[in-house]
Amino acid sequence: MAINTKTTGNNNNDIALSQESLIKFYKTVREFSHTLAEPLEIEDYIVQSMPDVSPTKWHLAHTSWFFETFVLSKAIQVYKSPNPQYAYLFNSYYVQAGERHLRPKRGLISRPTVEETYRYRNHVDESMLQFMENANDKEWREFSSVIEIGIHHEQQHQELIVTDIKHVLSENPLNPEYINNQNKGRSSHKPEDIEWISFEGGVCNIGNEGEGFGYDNEYPLHKVYLNPYKLGSRLVTNAEYMEFINDRGYETPEIWLSEGWATVETNNWKAPLYWQQSGGEWMQFTLAGLRKVEPNEPLTHVSYFEADAYARWAGSRLPTEAEWEVAAESVQIEGNFVDNMNFHPAPLEKSNGLPLKQMFGDVWEWTQSSYSAYPGYKIPPGALGEYNGKFMCNQMVLRGGSCATSKSHIRKTYRNFFPTNARWQFMGIRLAKDGD
Ligand SMILES: [Fe+2]
C-alpha cells in the first residue's frame, strides 16, 4: 500500500503557552509525579538496583532541584533552599551547575528522608507558583521557556520513575506488584500479519519547525534524501520474537553485530530483559508482578543489538529515524501512553483503518540512526546546553514514546536516545525494508 507523505517536520504542541496555561501545566505535571509514587511503600523509594537506575526519591528531589537551580535561584534574589547541600546531592550531570554526588551511589542516600523530600518539593512548588503568578513581563520573557523545559524534564523523569521502579522490583524474588492491574489492557486477540507500507522517499524535511515546545536536539528543520522504503504496519509481537528464540536466534552469531554478539555472550542473554522460563513456559516480570508472556502483546525490553539481530533474522532491517519521522506525518499522536495507567504495552485490538499502527505509545522503537547533531545544530549556551548535546556519541535514536511516556510529552520530532545495550526502558521493534 502506498501513501503520500508530506515533506515538512511536525509538532503537536500549541504555539507558546500562556502564563495561565503554563502554570496549569506545571501543577498537573508536578502532581502526576506524586500519583506515580503513590503505590510505593516507603522502602521502595530508596533502592538503586543498578547504576542506570535512580531511586524514586532521587527523581522527586532532582526534578525539584532543576527548578530551584535554573529558575528560583536566578529569578528570586532572596530565594533560600531548605538545604543548600541539596544542590550537590541532586545535581545529575550539569558540570556548569557545580560539583555533584556520584550517580552509582544514589541508593546510599537515606537522608533526606522521603518525608523531607516531599517537604522539599512543597517548598519548591510554593516558590515556583508564587513566582509564576506574580512574574512581570520581563521576568516571564526570561524564565517561561526554562520553566517549560523544567516541566518536560519532569515528565522525562516520570518515565524513569516507572521504568526504574520496575527494575528495582524485578530484583526482588517476591515479584512485588507496583499496581494490581493484571488483566487491564490484555487481550488474546491475534493481530493481523505485518503489512508493508510503502513510502516514496525523495527530498523530505525532518526536525522541529519551531511551533510549540521542542528540545534543542530536534532542531533545526532540515532536508534529508530518502530512497523508497517500507515500514512494518505494526510492532513486532512476543509471539514473533519467540520464533526468533526458538530458531536459535541467541545462538547464531552471524545475525548479530560483533559488539552485540560479545554482549550476548558476556551477559548470557537468551531472551528479553524480565523474561524467565518456568515449567516450560515463558514468564515475564511486569509492573503487575510476574505473569505469562502474552504472545500478542508488543515485544518490549530488548536492546538495540537484539532489535538489529531480530530484523536481520526476519529478512528486514530497522528504520532510520528520518524514515520513521516522515512516515509519522500520516499518523495521529494516539496510543497506549502512561495516561492510560496500563504500565505495559497493549495488544493491537483491531485495525484503526490507518495503514500504520502503534507508532505512538506502547514501546519506544529502535532506529538504526546514531544519535548525533542535525546539520546546523548548535549546543545552547550555559548549563542547560548540557541537557542533550553532550550525549551525542555512542547512542542510538528511539522514536514514538512508550506506555510510560505522557501523551503531552511526545512529538513526531521527539528524539530519545540510549546506548546499544540498554534494555530497561520499554523498547521494542518496528521493521523496515528498502522499497522497490
Ligand atoms: Fe534530569
Q: What letter does residue 235 receive in the DSSP assignment?
A: P
CA of 92 to the centre of ligand 1 (A): 6
CA of 411 to the centre of ligand 1 (A): 19
* Distance from C-alpha of 49 to C-alpha of 169, rounded to nearest angstrom: 9
Nearest Cα to Cα of residue 214 among 283, 145, 277? 145
According to the model, what pLDDT value does residue 83 have?
96
CA of 251 to the centre of ligand 1 (A): 38
Domains of the chain: 5-170 (1.20.120), 196-434 (3.90.1580.10)
436 vs 42, 131, 227, 230, CA distance in Å? 57, 58, 9, 9
Q: Output b/e per residue, 216-246; b: 16+ Cβ within 10 A.
A: bbbbebeebebeebbbbbbbbbbebbbebbe
Q: Are 124 and 90 in contact (CB under 8 A)?
A: no
* Distance from C-alpha of 76 to C-alpha of 333, rounded to nearest angstrom: 38
CA of 156 to the centre of ligand 1 (A): 8
10-residue block means of pLDDT along the chain (436 residues)? 32 58 97 98 98 98 97 95 94 85 94 98 98 95 95 98 98 96 70 95 96 93 98 98 98 98 98 96 96 96 98 98 96 96 90 86 98 94 84 96 98 98 98 94
Helix (H, G, I), strand (E, B) or coil at 162: helix
Q: Are 398 and 366 in contact (CB under 8 A)?
A: yes
CA of 97 to the centre of ligand 1 (A): 13
According to the model, what pLDDT value does residue 352 have?
66
56-96, pLDDT tens digit by residue?
Answer: 999 999 999 999 999 999 999 999 999 999 999 998 888 88
25 vs 58, 150, 211, 400, CA distance in Å? 22, 11, 18, 22
* Distance from C-alpha of 359 to C-alpha of 324, rounded to nearest angstrom: 9
CA of 100 to the centre of ligand 1 (A): 13
CA of 62 to the centre of ligand 1 (A): 7
